[in-house]
Structure 1
């Protein structure tokens, strides 16, 4: 065999040109997945916190305010570009002795544009809903 066939000079440069962008894309996908999952878990926890806070109140108005306050406190450290809270406290008008659930739905828009991944949208919309029972024999004002 001639020396020319065994010469591998320049192969590291070619491997770097091919391998480094693939590695960077892989790392970006891991960061994106982590950001989405951590945010999903946090908004689920915020929805449960809001539902529980609402179920402890005595009136529909107080329940909605408590749920919104609780969810807002939970969402302060999240990468949500926009968020919304919907409280379903219609059960507060039910007669005493009736088992009622109060529901809280939290929606969060997570920005992904800073990751610059090809084919990935600039945001992801995440939604979580939680319910908590209201005490059937609670005192009313």
Structure 2
């Protein structure tokens, strides 16, 4: 019998965001999809940057808002990762052109604004929802079965 994802909710301050993102980034494996949702300014890109840094990216990753997809690959990172920002996607037909599934053969996807996927998506994705304002954020993580054994934040 297949069960649904485990759910974890915890508060953190902005100083802890890098540690949280790094812990998740270290656990990333080829085929993983991480969905990052939250309001503008919630800290989605901050967590994604920390995940990329944990995979070896030196320097700061640019926000992919205008490029939509920003790919990283060895030697820049130790795992191919595509950082995706769907904020500017208005129609799900535009998603086909992005070829996101292609990144999953040997890498991972970090997707900001996953609401723009419509009904499309990955049932085994790690879903991270960020809320809160000021210095305090609340992270709600829906951890799918594929992540349960390696989920770093308990």
TM-score band (shorter)?
under 0.3
Q: Please, what TM-score do these two structures have when normalized by structure 2?
A: 0.25
Higher relative contact order (CA 8 A, sep 6+): 2
TM-score (norm 1): 0.27
Higher helix share: 1
Greater radius of gyration (CA): 1
